[in-house]
Amino acid sequence: MKVAEALAQARAVIPAAEARLLLRHVLDCSATAIAAHPERVMDESQSSRYAVLVARRAAGEPIAYLVGSREFYGRDFHVTPAVLIPRPETELLVEVALAKVPPSASNELGFADRGKADYHRPVVSRGVTGGNPRGSTPSMLDLGAGSGCVAITLALELGGKVTAVDVSPDALTVARENAARLNAKVTFIESDWYSAVDGKFDLIVGNPPYVAEGDVHLGEGDLRFEPALALACGADGLSAIRRIVAEAPRHLLPGGWLFLEHGYDQAEAVRALLEQAGFGPIEQHRDLAGIVRISGGVLTPGST
């Protein structure tokens, strides 16, 4: 089958952009190469593999799982159905962290050790401000590592000591693979939030499950295929966040920061939890759609 014929058949059941992306994945070539050579003949194996991917996408399976990767903060991360698909909204969590923690000495002179990223996003975007210098070797904890995208990005952008935990051994396998491929120094621990974590940190970040169990959105779109354990938690979606916030003071150094991603309608509830746990002043950051997605604050004296 020729490339043009394969694309025409695929476009009948999925969007044209997705049809091209899947074909690029199968043929391991650029979009330019596909456009320039529509007469290229695909062998039987390529045609069969492409047909299977198109059928799976037509059935709703996420593109990221089909091609096995998703870009996050300028780097490609391997993903499988064992982990959440990295989302642009979560990059805001990284930007906030970059504003609060100084880079280690090894990262102050340039970007040579920052993996495959070909750019560095300015931290001043979306109103993020900060600066709480604590020394030359920041210590950071990422709760709910998933693919490792947040922890690995922090390690490559800031250096320092980064620890990441996840309760899923399958997710940790994916995260460790990404760290090795991107040459990031991260310590991964299988843990139910803080249960296996020792020591205290300058910064704790997390993208915990925050969808209410039984929410109708869990049966729609990509969420149907993503790990339920990483999506939903409790009747109101706040069970994991309650535990993370309540226990955070015991794992933060004085003046340490905690920032969490949460749902579009949970900003006030999370603010209240943070205030009750002794954080303040509370900071809340909006994503590009103007929705408060990240909330957190600094640990006030006497809250440990």
Q: What is the pLDDT of residue 304?
A: 63
Query: Are 221 and 273 contained in the same domain?
Result: yes
Query: Are 48 and 98 contained in the same domain?
Result: no
Of residues 161, 169, 226, 156, the one with CA closest to residue 196: 169
The enclosing domain of 198 has a CATH number of: 3.40.50.150
pLDDT tens track for 263-300: 999 999 999 999 999 998 999 999 999 999 999 999 98
Q: What is the pLDDT of residue 73?
A: 97
Query: Are 45 and 168 contained in the same domain?
Result: no
Q: Is 168 contained in some domain?
A: yes
Query: Are 219 and 271 contained in the same domain?
Result: yes
Counting as low any pLDDT under 50, the low residues of the chain are 108-134
Q: Is 118 contained in some domain?
A: yes
Of residues 144, 123, 120, 128, the one with CA closest to residue 260: 144
Query: Are 253 and 216 contained in the same domain?
Result: yes
Query: Are 36 and 169 contained in the same domain?
Result: no
Q: Is 220 contained in some domain?
A: yes
Q: Is 73 contained in some domain?
A: no
Q: What is the pLDDT of residue 137?
A: 82
Domain holding 276, by residue range, is 82-299
Number of domains composing the chain: 2
Q: What is the pLDDT of residue 149?
A: 98
Q: Is 196 contained in some domain?
A: yes
